[in-house]
Homo-oligomer: A and B are copies of this chain.
Amino acid sequence: MPGELEIISRLRKRARAGPQVRVGIGDDAAVIATDGAQDLLACCDLMIEGVHFRREWAAPRFIGRKALAVTLSDIAAMGGTARYAMISLALPRTLSAQDIEDLFDGIYEMADASNVTIIGGDTSSSNDSLFIDTIVLGDCAAGRAITRAGAQVGDVIYVTGALGASALGLDLLERGFRLEDSDSIEAGARRHALMKHLAPEPRLQIGRRLGERGLATAMIDLSDGLSTDLGHLLEESRCGAILHATAIPLDESAQWLAANGLEIDPLQLALHGGEEYELLFTARPETRHRIAALASDCNLPLTVIGEIVASHGLQLERDGARQMIQLAGYEHRI
């Protein structure tokens, strides 16, 4: 079976781009010009049992929350405002009425928290897995969507929040850890990582504000991992980047657990771990004060982790030396 990147590449080649399509297949969301002052944003994301999640890892409410969160994150990555959602659900017969109620609780919880109205969807039975497709529609001022293609040489690279916790959470789930109540520091660190994986928060506010103020030159959300997603951005922007290892904000729980006997490498998790749903963006260096003010307004760390350069590829600067990072396409696996 061809991989996802190959399928997307084939689709892009075949897609007719109408005059209204500002951005088609291949960015975080499509951007459509309208006859009004706003462009329409549209995107969808699949979450499939056995591919993206396991039911024994989390209650249905978490599955519902995350299914919508990951698609909202795509609208954030365009610098837009999420407005409406549709939910397509294929429900296996092994789900109880209460499970379904809980799944919808999670979906509505995320929708309400994000000021998004659920306007439709489809439901069906499924003979095997639980299958959720979430569709989000949003908008932004006409022509102001932030694509992956606008990074320029000399731009600085920012990331929101801290990285590595989601991949750590997945690792912990695979090792048999679950969300649990406990007062120990260790359990608290694990819980933090598990929650980052199971209940990611889409960065809607900062994404929208970066778009409104025109501060980001390119943006993408971290679904596949920093190295892979930055690779996508570099490919679309036709440039390269240098990342500074010591500048990358490492998740504190990963650092604590690594320092206390868990065999993980927080930097590797931060560089290559998927499903963070933080935003990665580039900006002109002269806007740094405005971006710092925005971070303060939104109460969210924004960290400069590198810069855009002309030579292609992604380099990591560490201990005074630079090494190339291989850009491997990430495919979801559990």
A residues in contact (CB < 8 Å) with B: 1-2, 4, 7-8, 10-11, 14-18, 20-21, 24-25, 29-30, 32, 34-38, 40, 42-46, 48, 50-52, 83-84, 86, 88, 90-91, 93, 95-97, 100-101, 104, 108, 112, 117-129, 131, 133, 135, 137, 331-332
**Across the interface, do A127 and B51 meet the contact criterion of CB distance under 8 Å?**
yes
Which chain B residues lie closer than 8 Å to A100 at the CB level? 1-2, 7
**Across the interface, do B51 and A124 meet the contact criterion of CB distance under 8 Å?**
yes
Chain B minimum-CB-distance residue to A1? B93
**Across the interface, do B124 and A48 meet the contact criterion of CB distance under 8 Å?**
yes
**Across the interface, do B25 and A118 meet the contact criterion of CB distance under 8 Å?**
yes
Complex CA distance for A104 and B8, rounded to whole angstroms: 11
**Across the interface, do A119 and B44 meet the contact criterion of CB distance under 8 Å?**
no
Complex CA distance for A7 and B129, rounded to whole angstroms: 18
**Across the interface, do A118 and B42 meet the contact criterion of CB distance under 8 Å?**
no
**Across the interface, do B37 and A121 meet the contact criterion of CB distance under 8 Å?**
no
**Across the interface, do B15 and A86 meet the contact criterion of CB distance under 8 Å?**
no
| Contact flag A34-B34 (CB < 8 Å), given A15-B119, A133-B88 | yes
What is the minimal beta-carbon distance from A275 to any residue of chain B, in angstroms? 14
**Across the interface, do B40 and A38 meet the contact criterion of CB distance under 8 Å?**
no
Counted per complex, copies of this chain come to 2
What is the minimal beta-carbon distance from A24 to any residue of chain B, in angstroms? 5
Complex CA distance for A177 and B10, rounded to whole angstroms: 34
**Across the interface, do A108 and B30 meet the contact criterion of CB distance under 8 Å?**
no
**Across the interface, do A124 and B35 meet the contact criterion of CB distance under 8 Å?**
no
| Contact flag A119-B25 (CB < 8 Å), given A4-B124, A84-B42, A86-B30 | yes
**Across the interface, do A135 and B34 meet the contact criterion of CB distance under 8 Å?**
no
| 14 chain-A/chain-B pairs, Cβ below 8 angstroms | A1-B93, A1-B125, A2-B97, A14-B118, A30-B84, A30-B86, A30-B119, A35-B38, A42-B86, A43-B120, A46-B133, A48-B126, A51-B125, A128-B129
Which residue of B34, B45, B117, B129 contacts A127 across the interface (Cβ within 8 Å)?
B129
**Across the interface, do B112 and A16 meet the contact criterion of CB distance under 8 Å?**
yes
Given contacts A21-B84, A133-B133, 13 further A-B contacts (CB under 8 A): A1-B100, A2-B97, A7-B123, A24-B120, A40-B137, A44-B120, A48-B124, A48-B126, A51-B90, A125-B331, A127-B128, A127-B129, A129-B129
Which chain B residues lie closer than 8 Å to A137 at the CB level? 32, 40, 42, 137
Which residue of B34, B91, B135 contacts A38 across the interface (Cβ within 8 Å)?
B34
